[in-house]
Structure 1
Amino acid sequence: MSAQQLVVVTGASTGMGAATARELARQGFHVLAGVRRDRDADALRGDGVEPVILDITETARVEALAARVDADPRPLRAVVNNAGIQVNAPVEALPLAEWRRVFEVNLFGHIAVTQALLPALLRSGGRVLNISSIGGKAAMPTYGAYAGAKFALEAVSDALRREVEPLGVRVIVLEPGGVRTEMSGRGIVTANDLAARMTPEQDARYGGLVQAINSLMASGTSAGLTADAAARVIAKAVTARRPRTRYTVGRDAAMIIGMARVLPDRLLDRVIAGTVRRHLPKPTTA
């Protein structure tokens, strides 16, 4: 059956998105894989994978994707909203323009794609898969913008599910923990760039914290799932006859989301503070 069905995967240039596109193609779907650049398209193109130049924040690109889907006689099985950026900085120090950029990509872009493709999904009885994060359930320090957009994506997913499941469209949230992709490395570079722009007073308040979070991010990524393992969970959500509303991806995600669900805020604060403390830079001695 999958050979006669389309799947759209956004953010497919590298990492989980690319792995998901290949895994779904391996399972027989025809995948429209959103990429930003021609060289990414050339690297990804293969049997069952059709790269599409896509920036989910550009209306014309999203409309072109919808037109491509509408022109295809095959039904649309699923839309995997995977595109995203990671920007970490303390709430006080992150410029408002960066807040807006994070929300444009990590929230509003997904809404734009979903709105554009919902008519096709309603016709086919397909499904929407929104790639959230453990940051959609528990916000670490310096993750205000990233986690804020993911919290919002979780809420939008709940509202959408209650709107369209009675109409035959399933809505599923996936919550990955650490995954070995290029995203965290880019996030560390961005965090360091933003930290370099902090005022001396902000650096005194948060400089050590930024270093600790970068160290924690690097260690969590190196110990995380491979992109291929994460892609298999996403593919399961695409193909399951009766999918769950949410899937955690990785043991760390299951553990942290479980703690966030049951621990009082102050106790969770202490757990997070203890984790961060182990990564703080050691004080220098004269």
Structure 2
Amino acid sequence: MTEHTQKLIVVTGASTGLGASTARELARRGFHVLAGVRRDSDADAVRSTGVEPVILDITRPEQVEALAARVADDPRELHALVNNAGIQVNGPVEALPMSQWRWVFEVNLFGHVAVTRALLPALLRSRGRVINISSIGGRVAMATYGAYAGAKFALEAVSDSLRREVAPLGVQVVVVEPGGVRTEMATRGIATANELAALMTPEQDERYGDLVRATNALMASGTASGLTADAAALVVAKAATTRRPRTRYTVGRDAALIIRLARMLSDRTLDRIVTANLRRHYPRATTA
């Protein structure tokens, strides 16, 4: 505990789920955690010993600047930034409105870049690290996951580029890739996908309706059988505290298996496996 008592860690998206669990776990290990939340009610829920909530919407420049000022004014060094905030919005490429595409990238990519840029001066001074919470969707893109996976693929690329830029300066960059985790984000993602599916044209519904319903059923099944947020947070904490962290950590056996298959198999073979797995979730006998 005493080793980390005088160090800060910032965790974005800490209102619930993986972010809240990570904030609590890092505080338990002796860090002072600045936990980014969007509402005062969320702040009251997450506040605890070692966890200080800060109002932070990563898409609002003034709040990102306020966070950077809070860190700069603190005499404790910044040990790590955990970029965890995110949303899940799924839909077929043809049917998902462009406004949703832009919003997914704004939250899941550009917001992380904004926070990272704002805190890099402090991390460079402390020779700290950046932990980017990606997803198995950042390595394999399932049907209807175009926007979400696209942003996560991009986050993985930015992480690689940043790692190569700042490694000579003493800053480490780590990517964490969760599979199924039992969080509110997954539940909200399914609800959002259903709402967006209801807006499809009749022609789009005929083409993609069963696919969307099957994908949602598969997501619900994977989430229900996934790790708890507390178990997943242990992996994030390991990435934040291990002296020589790996560049990537998977979270859950499903994530490790899918990444292994993606490395071993051709695209077409992986397509057949994914399709076969999805087929049993279709609401009727069609496999369109």
Tell me if both proteins adopt one fold, taking TM over 0.5 as the criterion.
Answer: yes
Distance 1:260 1:101 in 2: 28
Match of 2:261 in 1: 259
Matched to 1:135, the amino acid is: G
Q: Whole-Å Cα distance in 2 between the matches of residues 248 and 123 of structure 1?
A: 29
Cα distance in structure 1, aligned partners of 2:264 and 2:102: 31
Q: Match of 2:106?
A: 104
C-alpha separation in 1, matches of 2:136 and 2:260? 10
**1:25 corresponds to 2:24:** no
1:132 aligns with 2:137: no
Amino acid at match of 2:198: A
Could you say which residue in structure 2 is the equivalent of 1:165?
Answer: 167
Code of the aligned partner of 1:88: N
Residue pairs, 1:1-286, within 5 angstroms: 1-283=3-285
- Counterparts of 1:208 and 1:34, CA distance in 2: 37
| Distance of 2:138 and 2:160 partners within structure 1 | 13
Unpaired stretches in structure 2, ≥5 consecutive residues: none
Q: 1:231 is matched by which residue type in structure 2?
A: A
The 3-state SS of whatever aligns with 1:175 is: strand
Name the aligned partner's letter for residue 242 of structure 1. Answer: R
TM-score normalised by length of structure 2: 0.98
Runs of 4+, deviation exceeding 6 Å = none
Structure 1 residue ranges without an equivalent (≥5) = none
TM-superposed deviation, 1:123 = 0.1
Q: Deviations over 1:221-252 (max 9, x none)?
A: 00000000000000001110100000000110
Amino acid across the alignment from 1:146: Y
Aligned partner of residue 5 in structure 2, secondary structure: helix
Instruction: Please report how far the alpha carbon of residue 283 of structure 1 lies from its aligned counterpart in structure 2 after TM superposition.
Output: 4.5
Question: Equivalent residue of 1:80, what SS?
Answer: strand
Distance 1:213 1:12 in 2: 27
Counterpart of 1:225 in structure 2: which amino acid?
Answer: L
1:80-121: CA deviations, max 9, x gaps? 000000000000000111000000000000000000000000
- Secondary structure of the structure 2 residue equivalent to 1:76: strand
Post-superposition offset of 1:261: 1.5
SS of the residue aligned with 1:194?
helix
What percent of counterpart residues are identical? 76
Q: Over aligned residues, Cα RMSD in angstroms? A: 0.8
Query: Counterpart of 1:165 in structure 2: which amino acid?
Result: A
CA distance in 2, matches of 1:77, 1:262: 36
Q: Distance in 2 between matches of 1:236 and 1:79?
A: 14
Amino acid at match of 2:250: T
Aligned-pair CA distance for 1:197:
0.3
